[in-house]
Amino acid sequence: TEEFLRYNESLSMIGELSAGIAHEIRNPLTSIRGFVQLLYSRSKMNRELHEIILSEVDRINSIIGELLLLGKEMPSELADCNLAGLLGQVVVLLNAQAHMTDNEIVMHSDLDSLLIRCAVNKLKQVFINVLKNAIEASPHGAEITLELKLEENAAIIRIIDTGPGIPAELLHQIGAPFFTTKSGGNGLGVMISKKIIHNHKGTLQFKSNQPVGTIVEITLPLLHELQHT
């Protein structure tokens, strides 16, 4: 528990700090974006260069967006939510992306309804982050499985893919701020997801899906007081 508390404390410090910095960076970045577009329309600036600059600026902006989220306080929108329904929604949402690479997310659950008191949009963010990672890791044409089960007094959610998996020596780094193995990645999704799940007194773990693939296992207690960061 002491370790957990220290972990949580450092997370919320990172949250506050990064939200502050992110806010300061966003304004000049907006100016830069505007002026680059002005330059392009007024001069004969190379079109390809212009697009590279804009896409890089947009990438910084998306990182900043996530940093700002990180600093947001938790208990904003607590509600009783049907976890099965929420997961179903996210699956529909992300199947649009999955279908582009011929992948399919399939949900397996015997439960039509599983009520949980939670910050609905935060949990939604977690499932989106984790499913996105699963899609990004999957080979073309592969299926991604989403399981929902009830065990004791906790909901167990497993996201199972058939991608390359995570090498044992990298496992402990997953979820560290900015740790990414993707060329366009920002390495914040897992960190943010873990923070949100911990605030719900749950756990998020990566497991190997031998011989190939990854299982992300999320447990969420059904009865709990939410942790205020």
Sheet containing 143-151, strands listed edge to edge, beginning at the edge strand earlier in sequence: 104-109, 143-151, 154-161, 214-221, 203-208
Which residue from 163, 194, 200, 229 is in contact with ligand ADP, where contact means CB under 6 A? 163
Please give the structure tokens belonging to residue 226. 């939410």
Q: Which is nearer to ligand ADP, 165 or 202 (CB)?
A: 165
**Strand bridging mode 104-109 / 143-151:** parallel
Interaction of residue 220 with ligand ADP, rule CB under 6 A: no
Contact region for ligand ADP (CB under 6 A) — 40-48, 84-92, 101-109, 189-197? 189-197
- Between CA 125 and CA 127 the distance in angstroms is 6
Q: Which residue has the tokens 């496992």?
A: 171
Which listed option, Mg ion, ligand ADP, none, makes contact with residue 30 (CB within 5 to 8 Å by class)? Answer: none
Q: Which of 134, 146, 197, 218 binds ligand ADP (CB under 6 A)?
A: 134
Q: Which of 109, 179, 207, 208 binds ligand ADP (CB under 6 A)?
A: 179
Site string for Mg ion, 182-211 (x = CB under 5 A): -------x----------------------
Q: How far is the CB of 146 from ligand ADP (least distance, A)?
A: 12
Which region among 19-27, 58-66, 133-141, 143-151 touches Mg ion (by CB under 5 A)? 133-141
Q: Is 64 exposed, middle or buried (0-12, 13-18, 19+ CB in 10 A)?
A: buried
Identified binder of ligand ADP from the candidate list 86, 91, 154, 190, rule CB under 6 A:
190
> What tokens were used for 218?
């999320």
One-letter-per-residue 3-state SS of 138-198 = CCCCCEEEEEEEEECCEEEEEEEECCCCCCHHHHCCCCCCCCCCCCCCCCCHHHHHHHHHH
Chain residues that interact with ligand ADP, rule: CB under 6 A: 129, 133-134, 137, 161, 163, 166, 174, 179-182, 185-191, 214
